[in-house]
């Protein structure tokens, strides 16, 4: 990178803190002098409701490569019964003890409700791809999961094999120890290799930061490195760490990446209210194992059983 990474991260973190403290919800403007390739997609005074209020800006975002455009204002009540709610959710089952029949049930639920994807361990990708053939539900799997401590070559191989066997989305875990050590070269190499393998197969990449293990400056650094390396989303958590998604972390990540990347909130999103808070904070995708329960709640139904809410 041509700019001083540490100075840039410190500057951006200070700006984010200032905006969060003042209640200013606008993403920070581009800083060309610092080498960032972020154009002015956000107008002064933007309310974050481009799809509803600004067709021209929405088209610009789409032209820049967005496959989904979300409204970051508070979720309206009408969304409760809207298929758009389900289409934001990655229906997740990453428990190591999951059985074949559990994966088949997960796929059936995803098809029935219209979830964005099923998020499963790599060994189940071929099965899920067969179960979901002909549907709009995507197959999402993980790489370097859940610790993030595998070598870049191993993660890249995992991603390439997963895409070859039917995965359309890859959620990789960042090298948390390297990020905490400020070894930005290794972190960038790690993400870049997986991004190349993922995109070569036409899939998209989400980078899991495991935010509960990071301070705010490290979270911002992870977001910038993921953006620079070509990732499509940043994601809060694996669900196996010491904590899950928080409103603060989602807001921080949205400020850090601006409008050009997705933000996925995962870990501990168990209710419709949890989901609404994450979307209002800037999340464009939600990872949840309690997806069916959330949809039943959104439809005004009494959840049939909370037992179906699997650990993320």
Query: Residue 36's Cα: distance from chain center in Å?
Result: 21
Residues known to be catalytic: 171, 235, 264
Please choose, from the candidates 164, 159, 132, 127, the residue with its C-alpha nearest in 3D space to the C-alpha of residue 145.
159
Cα dihedral: 193, 223, 115, 132 (round 10): 0
d(CA 62, CA 280): 21
Please choose, from the candidates 251, 285, 296, the residue with its C-alpha nearest in 3D space to the C-alpha of residue 21.
251
- Distances, alpha carbon 263 to alpha carbons 106, 132, 168, 175, 309, in Å: 23, 25, 17, 18, 23
Contact present, 163 and 128 (Cβ < 8 Å): no
- Could you tell me the sign of the dihedral formed by the alpha carbons of 175, 183, 195, 3, in that order? positive
- Tokens encoding 301: 């139904």
Contact present, 92 and 312 (Cβ < 8 Å): yes
């Amino acid at each position: 990178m041509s700019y001083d990474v540490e100075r840039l991260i410190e500057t951006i973190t200070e700006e984010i803190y200032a905006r969060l403290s003042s209640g200013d919800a606008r993403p920070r403007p581009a800083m060309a002098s610092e080498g960032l390739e972020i154009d002015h997609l956000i107008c002064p005074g933007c309310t974050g409701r481009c799809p509803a209020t600004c067709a021209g800006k929405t088209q610009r975002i789409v032209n820049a490569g967005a496959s989904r455009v979300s409204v970051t204002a508070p979720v309206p009540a009408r969304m409760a019964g809207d298929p758009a709610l389900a289409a934001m959710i990655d229906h997740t089952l990453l428990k190591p003890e999951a059985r074949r029949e559990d994966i088949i049930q997960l796929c059936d639920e995803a098809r029935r409700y219209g979830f964005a994807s099923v998020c499963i361990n790599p060994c189940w990708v071929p099965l899920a791809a067969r179960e979901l053939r002909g549907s709009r539900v995507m197959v999402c799997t993980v790489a370097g999961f859940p610790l993030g401590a595998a070598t870049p070559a191993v993660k890249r191989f995992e991603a390439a094999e997963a895409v070859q066997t039917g995965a359309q989305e890859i959620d990789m875990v960042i090298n948390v120890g390297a990020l905490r050590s400020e070894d930005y070269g290794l972190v960038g190499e790690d993400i870049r290799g997986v991004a190349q393998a993922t995109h070569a197969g036409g899939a998209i990449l989400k980078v899991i930061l495991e935010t509960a293990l990071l301070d705010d400056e490290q979270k911002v650094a992870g977001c910038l490195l993921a953006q620079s390396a070509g990732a499509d989303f940043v994601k809060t958590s694996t669900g196996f760490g010491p904590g899950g998604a928080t409103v603060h972390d989602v807001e921080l990540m949205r400020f850090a990446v601006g409008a050009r990347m997705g933000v996925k909130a995962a870990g501990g999103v168990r209710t419709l209210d949890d989901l609404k808070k994450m979307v209002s904070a800037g999340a464009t995708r939600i990872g949840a194992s309690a997806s069916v329960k959330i949809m039943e709640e959104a439809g005004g139904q009494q959840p049939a059983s909370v037992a179906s809410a699997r650990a993320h």
